[in-house]
Amino acid sequence: MPAEAGTVVGMALVEPGRADDGEGALIPGYGHVSMVFVHPSHWSNGYGQHLLRAVHALGYTRTTLWTRRSNERAQRLYAAAGYVPNGRTTHLLDGDEIIQLERRAEPV
């Protein structure tokens, strides 16, 4: 959680990835990013990248996340962190399309 002068300005949640869209067994080395939030008053200050670097430091070799197709700002953040569309899409209850992005860790 990035903090500025003792105030939390963002947060991320990553959980171990599972088969069958989260219903199945754990997949070793796979993490699913459920959320990345930065308060709008702190956008464009590098906090999103900081959060994603912390997620990647957990050691997952593959991470995925979902985002609205219409959320170009988030897609730019994720692309800068190495995420690319993997071809999976679905729709939210409100009809908005969401796309899945994936990042593979660099070989060490």
DSSP codes of every residue in 50-81: HHHHHHHTT--SEEEEEEETT-HHHHHHHHHT
Q: How confident is the model at residue 1 (pLDDT cuts 50, 70, 90)?
A: low
> Average pLDDT of the chain?
92
Higher pLDDT, 38 or 5: 38
Q: Which residue has the tokens 């209850």?
A: 93
Q: In terms of pLDDT, which residue wins out, 12 or 6?
A: 12
Which of 107 and 55 is assigned the larger pLDDT? 55
